[in-house]
Structure formats: C-alpha cells, structure tokens
Amino acid sequence: MIEGTRLEGRHIALLAADGFEKVELEVPLKALRLAGATVDIISLRLGRIRGVNMHEPAGKVQVTMTVQEADPKNYDGIFIPGGFINPDLLRQSAEAREFVHAFQVSGKPIATICHGPWVLASAGMLRGRTITSWPGIRDDMVNAGATWLDQAVVWDGNIITSRGPQDLMEFVPAIVEAFSGAAPLAEQAPAPMVSAPQRNEPPQAMLTAMKWMPTPAVRTALGIGAIALGAMAMRRRHAPPRQARM
C-alpha cells in the first residue's frame, strides 16, 4: 500500500505527449498523488492530450505547462510513460530531450516504462546504463549503448525502468521509493551484466487482443445500435397507454 505522506513536499514532472498509454500514465499518476506528491503534466502543447489503449483512442489528461515553460530545477524527479506514439513524439523534440537530460545532469530520479526509454536513448543517456523496456525495443536500447535485462523493474543509479503494464504492480512502489529520496540512488545500481537475448516471439496476449479487437465500423455500428435501442426503450417508457378496443 502506498503511504499517504511518503512523497509529501516532493514535486514530480510527468512528461507526456499525445499517444501515451493510458494505464501507464494514470496508474503511476494516481499512486504518486496518493503518496502526497505534486505532479505536473508537462507536454509539447497546452490543453488536453489524448491517451491510447494500445492503438485505440482513450481518455485525455489536462496539461499543466509546456516543456518550454517548465524548469527542471523545480522538480525532484521525472516520469515518462510509454505507448507507441508518445515517446516517438517526445524524442523528436529538442526541448523534451534537453528537459530530460537536465535530470540526468543533476542526478535526480528518472523513471520510465515500456517505450519510454526511447526518449532517453535519443537524449544520449543510455551508454553504460543497465535498463529494461518493452521487449520489442530491446535492440534499440542495446544499440544506444545500454545493457538490457528482461525484468519487471531495473534500477540503475538514478534511472528506473520497467517493461510495460504487466509490471505496474512492481514498478509503482519502486518509483515511489526512488522519488521519496529515502534510498541513495547510487546504491541501487545492479552489477554489470550481459544483455538478455531478444525474444523470438511477440507477446501472445498482444496478438490475441489485436485479433479480436473490433474495427471502427463495427464499433460505430454497435454504438449506433445501442443508442437506437436506448431511444426505443425511452419512447416505450414515456408513450401513453394504448386504449383497449371495444
């Protein structure tokens, strides 16, 4: 259970763009706030940015300020959620790369999950580090100079990484610990290791989900059908009673 005052007084930057994986943003965000942290959502634009469930549009979150407006000195750590689109957009932004790199220079905690380490790779922060990520980008991490481990959570100095939504139960307590400042970050670094091999098959759960996910046309038809059924039920409910025939 996350303690209600564990992160009291801590100020965390959550860096995200459109296309963030909804569960990877919302679960850590709620946990950090429940632990007492103040969390600002930093993005490439103001307004509300769109999340996704895999590739399907999901809910939006309100941006606190743009990355151009935010100052890394005002934060005790940074969290970058994953998703296919979100980190791809962030890694192409010079301002986003510089923002993240500033946390590396200052030695503040940097937490990221799934495809989020793409941003660290593009910011030139992975050479000599030991991390994990979504297994599909394992080769990108190794080519960026990192040692890649196929583990739920990898903590190397000030960088905490995780593979994906399946590991949130282990990842969330780890980032609360890191952002609390309770444990010296340097003592958490694992011993140097050889990278785990690339997997030979993609996750079966992902293949199954994509196989059975309805097309937009089917979802629209189901939605229209549900609305029509609801309207018919309302009409029947409010229709005057029929007169009995004589």
Positions annotated as catalytic residues are 115
Closest CA to 134 of 116, 121, 146, 147: 116
Q: Which amino acid is at 133?
A: S
Q: What are phi and psi of 84, to 5 degrees?
A: -70, -40
Between the two ends of the chain, the Cα-to-Cα distance in Å is 70
Tokens for 83, please give them: 């998703």
Q: What are phi and psi of 194, to 5 degrees?
A: -85, 140
Angle formed by the axes of helices 22-34 and 168-180, nearest 10°: 40
Q: What are phi and psi of 134, to 5 degrees?
A: -55, 130
- 159-162 and 153-156: which strand pairing? antiparallel
> How far apart (Å, rounded) are the C-alpha atoms in residues 85 and 133?
15
Tokens for 72, please give them: 């890394």
Residue 187: C-alpha distances to residues 10, 27, 136, 182 (Å): 21, 27, 29, 12
Tokens for 74, please give them: 């005002």
Q: Which amino acid is at 153?
A: V
